[in-house]
Amino acid sequence: MKIAVPNIFGQETLKLKGFVKNYGVTSIDWSINPEISENNFIHYMEDLVGFEVRFHGKFQGIDLAYSDVRGDSCFIAYKKSIDMISKCRGKFLTIHLGLGTCSFMELDYQKAVDNIRRLNDYARERDISLCLENLARGWTSDPDIYREIIEKTGVSITFDIGHAKTKIYPSQNGYFFYKKFLTGFEDRVLNAHIYDYEIPKKGHIPPMDLNAIRSRLDILTNTCCDFWVIELYSPKHIIEVKNLLDIYLNKDK
């Protein structure tokens, strides 16, 4: 299993490199700034040679599902990112639908499906796996709609276990709700985001103990996913969760 961390120090690659080396982390999940120049991006990636780096397109204010020019702008921004990733020999990019969107009334489902399908074709031509993340709200927070989009577009999966828990209702069986996101697509789960749950305007909350996330980790181990991102932004919390994951992954050894 590869354990990864986000670029928690922004663009400070040498600081990030030192952190991951000190704590036995092997990989990085790098959030791309859509405004970055290609030269700067390549320079940052050169600093991280020796680590597996996968990429995260957390673009705010633009979305592939907008039916107006914002949808086209988002498609162009993702294409630019794919081109830069390809030049650095990267292989994975996670995308979103409805990230930070104020009103889903502005989004068009068919436009979303069409744009993701076209973007996936573009990525495949460059040997990059495009992965759609489930969010805590909107279409991708519903496991049935999420799987429908995966089926219609052919993309792979980034499963965010915290978003899945944030969405769940008290009356639902957690294990079966989480599992439903991935049913039938276990061979397409390429990345996972690990934390407990999300609080609006506060962010991602770390698990209090291993039991808080154990059932979701059990589900992940029954997929092909081998890339777990500790999606927290405090070095202290990352280290604590890394220790929990080490215990979980070594339980049968």
* Local confidence pLDDT in tens for the 253 residues of the chain: 999 999 999 999 999 999 998 988 989 999 999 889 999 999 999 999 999 999 999 888 789 999 888 889 899 999 999 999 999 999 999 999 988 766 778 899 999 999 999 999 999 999 999 999 999 999 999 999 999 999 999 999 999 999 999 876 655 668 899 999 999 999 999 999 999 999 988 899 999 999 999 999 999 999 999 999 999 999 999 999 999 999 999 975 4
Q: What is the pLDDT of residue 251?
A: 78
Q: What is the pLDDT of residue 170?
A: 57
Assigned token pair, 230: 């500790």
**Contact by Cβ (8 Å): 198, 204:** yes
Name 150's Cβ contacts closer than 8 Å, sequence gap at least 6: 132, 156, 157, 185, 188
Query: In which region does residue 131 sit, left (phi positive, over 0), alpha (psi from -120 to 50) or beta (all else)?
Result: beta
Q: What is the pLDDT of residue 187?
A: 98
Q: What is the pLDDT of residue 68?
A: 87
Q: What is the pLDDT of residue 167?
A: 73
**Contact by Cβ (8 Å): 24, 44:** no
**CATH fit for domain 2-249, picks 1.10.10.2840, 1.10.287.3510, 3.40.50.720, 3.20.20.150:** 3.20.20.150
* Domain-wise residue ranges, the chain: 2-249
